[in-house]
Amino acid sequence: MKALHTVATGLLPSLCAACGRSCRPGAVVCTRCGRRLATAEPLGGGGPPGLDRCWSSAAHEGVARDLVAALKFRSLLPVAALIAARIEWLAPASMLSGAIVPVPTARLRSLSRGFDPAAEIAAALADRTGLEIRLCLARSGAGRQVGRRRAERIGHPPQIQARGRRSPPAPAPCVGPARSG
């Protein structure tokens, strides 16, 4: 998938992953979207039960939301590197230690996409930071978050648990751009 994307990238003009307008060759976003993303404030706070805290490099809105959609639904893999760069740039130093643990996408969706967006971001972040990646989480349940209302997403989060764990699954941790509205 990466090789195919690299070939495609070399053949196509550079278009902003967020808005679709022309941008500098090799750039992921245009100047306008880059400026908007630069002004997006990170979010942080307490986590759900089982997590010490949550942090996101941006609210799930505007350019940040468009970039997540570009990665997940249009397979624009260079977006993962941009997100990783933003995380490295803005994350508190205490969060960039230990190991990176991507929360896995549902297996069927990973198979249909040919990649796992969280794993792509984790790999890019590991490249930038030198941190180890640990694939120690498993996802169960087939419920999709896409298309659900916010209350439904919060009320019925994906079930994530440590691999090999037999006790009831823990609620899904809050990762990636935070949902708003």
Q: What residues make contact with Zn ion under the rule CB under 5 A?
A: 16, 18-19, 30, 33
Nearer to Zn ion (CB atom), residue 66 or residue 116 = 66
Q: How far is the CB of 31 from Zn ion (least distance, A)?
A: 8
Nearer to Zn ion (CB atom), residue 20 or residue 98 = 20
Q: How far is the CB of 36 from Zn ion (least distance, A)?
A: 8
DSSP secondary structure, 63-121, as one string: HHHHHHHHHHHH--THHHHHHHHHHHHHS-GGGSSSEE-PPPPPHHHHHHHTS-HHHHH
Nearer to Zn ion (CB atom), residue 16 or residue 76 = 16
Q: How far is the CB of 21 from Zn ion (least distance, A)?
A: 5
Nearer to Zn ion (CB atom), residue 72 or residue 139 = 72
Q: How far is the CB of 27 from Zn ion (least distance, A)?
A: 9
- Angle of CA points 59, 79, 72, to nearest 5°: 75
Find all residues with CB under 8 Å of 130, minimum gap 6, and list them.
none
Taking a C-beta distance cutoff of 8 angstroms, is the pair 136, 101 a contact?
A: yes
For residue 137 the two structure tokens come to 């989480």
